[in-house]
Structure 1
């Protein structure tokens, strides 16, 4: 009797595995990912069915439909806000063109704007000091979005700063990711709400997606009064200030923006806020001109018709003629990005990539190790940062372009996460980023192709096995 029940259960699991495999064939974004899921679901449904429930879906109808219906409308509202037809109000500076990055703007239905002042923050202390100062000066509204908010020392400093401005009559809108901030206690959120702060968590909010670990909102955005904006790699937690060993000191980068590009940060936040609440957050036109930099806000995600994050990196790397320096905590590139890096080497471009020497996710670290080895064989110079964990997401192109944002070089950022970055064309800002990266490379050790050969055979097998999990890393 027991044997019969076990056989029936096994048969049911295999049937369910076949149905799930059919779903994977139809919906997984890459052929490699579909093949990996199908193989596991058909042969080992006992092991793969539950992970597929959490990680298998590659799209979700609700947000996609809303995003595509509302994107044009939000863009129109953004343009109306940026060009107010009111007496005595100067129009925003017209979009500027840069043929190297025009394709990115057309793909994202966005524009590069001149007249921005840029501020580089090379560590968490400097970044949060500037963000707290901006929040303290808020007069009308604060729009805040983090992937992770912790109820720790920094998280409580953040809540106090927001509650203080809310008490002064400033409208505060806070968005956090439901998975990234899974440990955030309800008491933290309720305290903010009791103080007049509008706070919500981002979730895809569809019954078939309620178990999904994909489609995370990985963006980090702060906009104050439509005048000042911030974007980068930092979340609101003590580890981002280097307060939690063994990964400390934590190496991260954020940036501030003042000028016309802030309107695009507002628009991106507004789309996410509307999805969660059904309402538009406050907004106002940004200053016409605060500096000389041209900035393009690059917002990507799984609701886009194209794999926009991967295409963004590919086009940006193709644009390089002198150098491409990249820092990323997770180096698991897809074929398009890896191919762009190799072609850049053949063009004579100085291609360098900085990655951690310490793992925070061991499987990703192992896959990154194998890709780093293969990159060195292709002529890419790979470096491992020694003092602590490097979490910054920065790219320097030639002498005038610097990108700071939330995007990693992995499948999650390319296809599964909502991401954001600022692509900035300005020689002075690029020089600051160059000086920062020169210091980072000086604190790193270059990866040697022989490092892989020195590993034991079983260690090398483990690296190759880890890479099989590319689709979900």
Structure 2
């Protein structure tokens, strides 16, 4: 019996090393950086029992299943997008005074910049959710709702009630959630929606024969669209913590933007692709762009990014923004774990005289992120970048203010996960008035923050400083 167990164990170890060797070949061929390729190759060949499942869960950076399925329907989605662009051109909603970055951003996203939009900055749950719920009540044709996290708490049940009411009055309701972000959402919550006519789909990253372990990809987008006329996008999920009810991280500071105008049609494109991946259904939506009723003409870019993109669109967008700053660059992000190219770009911006400020929360819901964030302060401070720590609750909004005219609000953090592993959505507005609203919000946030310094880390205990360095080594998977 013991000899059989030894033979079985020897066979298992041999197969594990074979699997590790074969997987290491794929890691060398596909891993983005040389350092990452070396780390995976060494671990896969030395500790394959642990490294092989870890690689298949966390090592891949391209969402091949999504790419393939999107390609299957490209002939159907492209005509819809082209129809929208043609109509926008006929109605003169496309940008005429094109700047240098306009064609770059359009090539990155395959979506046009549009004018004729109105945007409203919504701050914190007390403004965000009443605005969204009022919009849902006015839906007549269809309602598209997508969130990363939905909880079965008071706010989650209020969302459920609004979806049910819309479905009962004949509105086509599509509800999309991320299965990993919303893993605590009970089946009864979803069954209640389905039984009342709401179409429900999970963004299941593990679907498909080639993707059973792809748990490292997330759909982090938050989008609500009403009848193709109004839309909401930004950082807020659906949970009571967004109303200041988290037991520790409170108040919860967040932001979303309400959009009216032709940019709403652009926002429908990523929802359409995500819905098709999740359900296999191609949606019949309103693709006719309309000017915002109050006559504003703000320029809006919609930037959907994710691991199915041809390029690392999210990282390239922020890298381009940093390099474009001439006198001011303010960035707020709850998860600030940049890679070396972003750190270098921030240093260069500060060295050429740009007022570069980074705003992060003092406390965070992710311990690894909080620790690793400390490791970047010294390099940034040396170049003149100021790092502020928000002390009046948990700062969760993802916002950027560039010079006096450009601002961005969305779902993307400054970390590897948002840059390369998550499906994200960012709304960029080129408008001085809206930029002043974002500036006012950030100035209030800065007034409730403290300036951080590298000296603080030097004064901490050795175990804390060691934990910071170890956390930084794990930055690629945070």
When normalised by structure 1's length, the TM-score is 0.94
Looking at structure 1, the residues matched to 91 and 102 of structure 2 have their Cα atoms a distance apart, in angstroms, of 24
Looking at structure 1, the residues matched to 75 and 113 of structure 2 have their Cα atoms a distance apart, in angstroms, of 17
Looking at structure 2, the residues matched to 458 and 27 of structure 1 have their Cα atoms a distance apart, in angstroms, of 35
Looking at structure 2, the residues matched to 392 and 221 of structure 1 have their Cα atoms a distance apart, in angstroms, of 15
Give the CA deviation at 1:404: 0.3
Looking at structure 1, the residues matched to 453 and 208 of structure 2 have their Cα atoms a distance apart, in angstroms, of 47
In structure 2, what is the equivalent of residue 444 of structure 1? 449
Give the CA deviation at 1:436: 0.3
Any idea what SS the aligned residue of 1:207 has? Answer: coil
Looking at structure 2, the residues matched to 418 and 65 of structure 1 have their Cα atoms a distance apart, in angstroms, of 16
RMSD: 1.9
In structure 1, what is the equivalent of residue 344 of structure 2? 339
1:13 partnered with 2:31: no
Equivalent residues of 1:330, 1:355 under 8 A apart: yes
In structure 2, what is the equivalent of residue 23 of structure 1? 26
Any idea what SS the aligned residue of 1:302 has? Answer: coil
In structure 1, what is the equivalent of residue 310 of structure 2? 305
In structure 2, what is the equivalent of residue 237 of structure 1? 239
In structure 2, what is the equivalent of residue 253 of structure 1? 255
In structure 2, what is the equivalent of residue 94 of structure 1? 94
Give the CA deviation at 1:318: 1.3
Range with bigger deviation, 109-118 or 33-42: 33-42
Any idea what SS the aligned residue of 1:208 has? Answer: coil
Give the CA deviation at 1:72: 7.0
In structure 2, what is the equivalent of residue 103 of structure 1? 104
In structure 1, what is the equivalent of residue 284 of structure 2? 282
**CA spacing shift, 1:261–1:72, aligned 2, 3 Å:** farther
In structure 2, what is the equivalent of residue 200 of structure 1? 201
What does the per-residue CA deviation read over 1:142-180, in whole Å, with 9 as the maximum and x for residues that have no partner? 111111111111110001001101111111111111111
In structure 2, what is the equivalent of residue 371 of structure 1? 376
When normalised by structure 2's length, the TM-score is 0.93
**Number of residue-to-residue matches in the alignment:** 469
Looking at structure 2, the residues matched to 189 and 355 of structure 1 have their Cα atoms a distance apart, in angstroms, of 35
Match for 1:63 among 61, 66, 84?
Answer: 66
Looking at structure 1, the residues matched to 74 and 411 of structure 2 have their Cα atoms a distance apart, in angstroms, of 21
Looking at structure 1, the residues matched to 122 and 429 of structure 2 have their Cα atoms a distance apart, in angstroms, of 15
In structure 2, what is the equivalent of residue 147 of structure 1? 148
Range with bigger deviation, 97-106 or 383-392: 97-106
Give the CA deviation at 1:471: 1.8
1:270 partnered with 2:275: no
Matches within 5 A, 1:355-434: 355-434=360-439
Range with bigger deviation, 130-139 or 452-461: 452-461
Structure 2: runs of 5 or more not aligned:
none
Matches within 5 A, 1:112-191: 112-191=113-192
Give the CA deviation at 1:328: 0.5
In structure 1, what is the equivalent of residue 461 of structure 2? 456
Structure 1: runs of 5 or more not aligned:
none
Looking at structure 1, the residues matched to 15 and 69 of structure 2 have their Cα atoms a distance apart, in angstroms, of 36
Give the CA deviation at 1:214: 1.9
Equivalent residues of 1:331, 1:371 under 8 A apart: no
Looking at structure 2, the residues matched to 373 and 153 of structure 1 have their Cα atoms a distance apart, in angstroms, of 43
Range with bigger deviation, 37-46 or 174-183: 37-46
**CA spacing shift, 1:83–1:13, aligned 2, 3 Å:** closer
Looking at structure 2, the residues matched to 364 and 14 of structure 1 have their Cα atoms a distance apart, in angstroms, of 33
Any idea what SS the aligned residue of 2:150 has? Answer: coil
Looking at structure 2, the residues matched to 219 and 465 of structure 1 have their Cα atoms a distance apart, in angstroms, of 30
Give the CA deviation at 1:231: 0.5
Give the CA deviation at 1:345: 0.8
What does the per-residue CA deviation read over 1:17-53, in whole Å, with 9 as the maximum and x for residues that have no partner? 2222222112223323222222222223343333223
Looking at structure 1, the residues matched to 104 and 74 of structure 2 have their Cα atoms a distance apart, in angstroms, of 18
Looking at structure 2, the residues matched to 82 and 13 of structure 1 have their Cα atoms a distance apart, in angstroms, of 52
Give the CA deviation at 1:65: 2.5
